[in-house]
Structure 1
Amino acid sequence: MKRHVEYTWRLREVMAARGMNNLSELIPHLHDRGVSLSSSQLYRLLGATPERMNLTLLGALLDVLECSFEDLCPTTVVATPVRHQATGTEASTAKRDAIRPIRARIHRPE
């Protein structure tokens, strides 16, 4: 089984639970903690799920919103079955050669 992590980004929901309905309410709190982002950067952070994030920004968000990482970004580990592929071992090579057709030989008439 192959395992991968799925997560959801709940920044908008956590902000609403804390009474912050606008992006402009978040900017001064982050600036007080040493994080200065433009409003367009914060808008992208609010609207889409980030793939990468600076730990300083993450820590500032957790501090401003007074929540844990699991509140902001709940994660789940999902196991998916793995397709087995031939590895090139003798057993798989013998099985493959057993069903291989014999090459035809064509001779020109003389």
Structure 2
Amino acid sequence: MVLDDADVEARLLTGGKPLPGDAVRLANATPYGLGLSVWTADPGRGVALARRITSGAAFVNAIVASDPRLPFGGTKRSGHGREPAAVGIREFTNTRTYWVAA
């Protein structure tokens, strides 16, 4: 985890144990949202926590990675649309409608 311009009284910096709500608030306060990784002994709790954080991809007990079979992209200032997979191909096309009156 990288903290930039954090409040000097923040529990993360003073040794106090951060609460899950603090992690969600800090993560959602950033202007970025490419991917997130949650590490936990309880995968169900990890998924619940990941759902509360805005990001393009979420990984529980794994590093953020790209797979050509799955769409990958971020939210906020992290990326423009999605890439690989079928949904990614559509990001690079211009769908056009033609209507010819009889």
TM-score range, shorter chain: under 0.3
Give the alignment's TM-score, normalised by structure 1: 0.21
Q: Which has the larger radius of gyration?
A: 1
- The structure whose residues are more often helix, as a share, is 1
Give the alignment's TM-score, normalised by structure 2: 0.22
Higher relative contact order (CA 8 A, sep 6+): 1
